[in-house]
Amino acid sequence: MNATLVIVLSSMVVLSGAAMFSIWIGRKNRSSENWSVGGRALPIYVVAGTQFATGVGGGVLVAHIGIGYSAGWSAVTYNVLYSIGIIILVLLANWLKEHKFTTMPEIFKKLYGDHKIMMSIVTFLAIVVPFGWLCTQLVAFGSLFAEITGIRFTILIIAFAAISLLFVLPGGLSSVAWTDFLFGCVMIVMTIASGFYILELAGGWSEITSKVPGNMIHLPEGLGAVGTTTILFWVLAIFPGALTNQMSYQRIYAASSASVAKKGFIIAAIVGVISGVWASFMGIAIYSMNPGLSDPEMASGWFLTQIPLWFMALYASFIIATIMSTVSSAVQSVVVNITTDIYQSYINPNATDRTLVALSRLMSVIVIVLAVFLALYYPKALGWLVATYAYSASGLLVPIFGGFLLRNSKRLTAGGAIGSMTFGVISAAVAQIIGTDIPYVAFGIMGSLAGFIIFNYIISEKHKHDEWEEDEEEVQI
């Protein structure tokens, strides 16, 4: 049987089964709250599954295996850093659940008050990251499947984007989260299966270690084989991204309780580290079989050329599950900002439940169409994904966590939040233009911190002075 046909059929089986499940979940959960925050009733295993599946994404299939190929166990270090960021979010779980937030801008409204300019900036910064993820995942899928099927890149992206709507339209976050759980199970099973397969293909662990440099596989040096400078870059890039990703916050909102959210995130963090072990192991094994690849990120593609058709069919389901879980989550996250923070806040505050669900479905189609056009226009979306991640973190990290720490003080002001976000974005832009060796997101965060301190202090002092003058006038009267 033709290889392309086998892969397409296996992919259809996985997608059709998950799509039917999504539609079934959607029929049970039709309210706007189910669409936006999963009815705030997700059980622990779904919270863990959707957080893991969404966070891993297509990067583990290409970039992380590439890290393993070039730097041994360093992919574990990358995932550990990301998982630590996820666990830090657990510290906010009680507070986030207590206030029943729906989006990230609502956090700012609670901390700093309802200020239109501030809310507009936050909404934009919250949208850019999931939208960037969406475009990049489409490109990742098109690139991988074009290589293994021979089908045109454009056709693959359009088809995949259209199919992804089957996981968003039925029930929003309810259907996305439950299908993410299924996809996460597929990912775990295939991680184990592919690990054992490549171990046998490479001739066993002793054969692998005999062909790989010791600094890549010996512990603990293998964890830092990528180099101290790169690890420092990861620290500066990964933590801000993990701590300001709205998709993670949404999964806390959607959990049935703060306790469930905490346990689910800890499980997701542990499984995330295990996926780093798998990626490193895959990269190391591939290096032992073919150390001459010019680009480490070609390692995953080379592996696909070495496996038989039956395993290719199974591995295709792994690719689809990994990428689809992130695509559907990104679409839903962008749409909930549009419907909640723009339409319901500014255009139609009295919108009915039915109107919000209908608009959410319409906007899902519009968002995915726009993402397809951008992915086709600029198929190297990773570059601007990194930029959107950096700018979003530069603007949001300090006012979120600084605001949380000072939430009971009288120092927080909307002007302080605006100043913090503005200084952060401008500092990141200047550092990027200059071309510093240190990741420009670090300058963005430092600028944001400076703006947060200066503007909140100046404005709060002005408010105190104004209140003092008002009191004096009342005394004189």
Residue 477: predicted pLDDT: 52
Categorize the per-residue pLDDT at 470 as very low, low, confident or very high, splitting at 50, 70 and 90.
Answer: low
Where is pLDDT greater, at 332 or 477?
A: 332
- Helices (H) and strands (E) counted in the chain, each on its own, are 22, 0
* Mean pLDDT for the stretch of residues 424-435: 92
Angle value at C-alpha 439, between 435 and 443, nearest 5 degrees: 90
Q: Which of 317, 326, 440 is nearest to 386 (CA)?
A: 440
- Rounded Cα distance between 240 and 93, Å, is 18
Percent of the chain past pLDDT 70, that is, above it, reads 94
Comparing 409 with 263, the larger pLDDT belongs to: 263
- In the chain the first and final C-alpha atoms are separated, in Å, by 94
Of the given ranges (63-77, 235-249, 312-326, 371-385), which has the lowest mean pLDDT? 371-385
Tell me what pLDDT residue 381 has: 47
The pLDDT tens digits for 13-68 are: 888 888 898 888 888 777 888 888 888 999 999 999 999 988 877 667 777 898 99
Model confidence at 144: pLDDT above 90: no
Nearest to 175 by CA among 281, 293, 332: 332
Structure token digits, residue 208: 């692998």
Summarised one tens digit per residue, pLDDT across range 100-138 is 999 999 999 999 998 999 999 999 999 988 888 888 888
- Assess whether the previous peptide bond of 220 is cis (omega < 30° from 0): yes
Higher pLDDT pick, 336 / 9 = 336
Q: Which domains does the chain have, with CATH numbers?
A: 3-377 (1.20.1730.10), 386-477 (no CATH)
Q: What is the pLDDT of residue 273?
A: 93
Alpha helices in 114-227 (DSSP H): 116-149, 153-164, 173-201, 205-211, 214-217
Q: Are 343 and 337 in contact (CB under 8 A)?
A: no
Instruction: Name which residue leads in pLDDT, 341 or 148.
Output: 341
Q: Using alpha carbons only, what angle is made at residue 281 by residues 278 and 282, rounded to the nearest 5 degrees?
A: 85
Mean pLDDT to the nearest integer, 392-416: 90
Q: What is the pLDDT of residue 228?
A: 87
Who's near 76: CB < 8 A, 6+ residues apart?
Answer: 223, 273, 276, 277, 280
Average pLDDT over residues 88-102: 92
